[in-house]
Every structure is written in C-alpha cells, then in structure tokens.
C-alpha cells in the first residue's frame, strides 16, 4: 500500500473482501455495518421488481448469516463483504 493519504487507504480497504461462510462474530459486525452505520446497506439485486418492501432501512435490504447474505423476499444471495465490515470499526 502506498502512503498517499486517507482516501487511498480507504480504497485499498474496500478492495479487500471476505467470503462466506462467515463466522458468528463476523455476522455480528456485518449486522452492525448493515443496520447501524452510515454506510449504504447491501441490497438485493432484484429489489426493483416491486416485491421487496422497504423494511430494515431500505428496499430489499440483505440479512447477514454465516452462510452469506440472504434476501428476505426472494432467493438472491451474496457471498462476500468488504473485509472491514467483518471487524470492529
């Protein structure tokens, strides 16, 4: 990593990902970032179909589980998260 300032560090962090299965502790932190931070939450790729109510803070918001992210309203899943989301802020 080059030391070119905060934004470069943030971009570097955003490229690092963790993939499912997640640990229980990782799910706790993913939940924190998804529902209790200022980050835009991960959402379902099918949420524009009109079948995804806006609960939990957005339309089609994804739920973190040890098996990966799941949608409450369809079979959409996501198997990765930004690495920093799986750790304490």
Give the residue with the Cβ less far from Zn ion, 46 or 84: 46
- Give the count of beta carbons closer than 10 Å to the beta carbon of residue 32: 16
Residues 41-70: x/- map of binding to Zn ion (CB under 5 A)?
Answer: ---x-x-------------x----------
DSSP 9: H
- Least distance from Zn ion to the Cβ atom of residue 5, Å: 38
Output the CA torsion sign for 36, 19, 15, 73.
Answer: negative
- Least distance from Zn ion to the Cβ atom of residue 4, Å: 38
Count of H-run helices and E-run strands, the chain: 2, 5
Residues in touch with Zn ion (CB under 5 A): 44, 46, 60, 71, 73-74, 76
């Amino acid at each position: 990593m080059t030391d070119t300032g905060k934004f470069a560090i943030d971009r570097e962090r955003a490229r690092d990902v963790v993939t499912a299965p997640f640990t229980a502790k990782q799910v706790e932190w993913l939940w924190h970032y998804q529902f209790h931070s200022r980050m835009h939450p991960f959402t379902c790729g099918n949420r524009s179909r009109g079948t995804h109510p806006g609960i939990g803070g957005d339309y089609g918001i994804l739920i973190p589980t040890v098996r990966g992210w799941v949608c409450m309203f369809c079979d959409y899943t996501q198997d990765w998260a930004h690495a920093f989301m799986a750790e304490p802020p």
